[in-house]
Structure 1
Amino acid sequence: MSWTGLAVLFSGFGAFTAARQSWLQWFPPEVSMCGRDFFGMIENYPIRRAIPMIFKGSGDCTAIDWTFLGGSIANWSFVWFAAFAIGLLWLLVRGARGQRGGLSMA
């Protein structure tokens, strides 16, 4: 796998995580308390148990403390991660077409 392909995967994961946070902000769960902080979970639980806890989110974790042009940091993160993923996919497709057609990029 190329570096561009790896970057697409990371951009996709970032977009997924930002979309999940946006979902939690728009539709907060009924639980009104926030769980342990990130370092508390990592220190006290095995990683296979801590990872799902990180993505659950609840209560005050859904508070929007920062906005810019009507969007939270989670919304803007999703926009940028998705833009990076689309741009990188375009580079991958362009590179694959250049290699198949025997065209030189120089």
Structure 2
Amino acid sequence: ALALKQILENILSKDFILPLEFLEKVYQNIENFNHSLDEDEFIQDGILKAVIYERGLKISLVYKENILDYASFISAYIKAYDEWLFYFIEKLEQRINIIINSFKES
């Protein structure tokens, strides 16, 4: 998650338009990451599942913009995903700390 976040932030910091082929590869990497999250039992537990719903909300807002240019759509998708990834990492760290602290108290 951290590596993907760094990649997305690097892409978003560029002042020029990236080639469509590159953006499509980034989009595919995001989709692969999504698939991994959707299959992960730890992520799909009752606590972190709400974070996944937040991902759906952010992505749906991109679709609602009805962006016709595919490169612009992918760029908006990347931006929304980057914002969600920040939230996801924060909640994941909180969840891990709760688990670690519960073992310390045992």
Same fold (TM over 0.5): no
Shorter-chain TM band: 0.3 to 0.5
Q: Which has the larger radius of gyration?
A: 1
Q: TM-score, normalised by structure 1?
A: 0.38
Higher helix proportion, which one?
2
Instruction: Report the TM-score, using the length of structure 2 for normalisation.
Output: 0.38
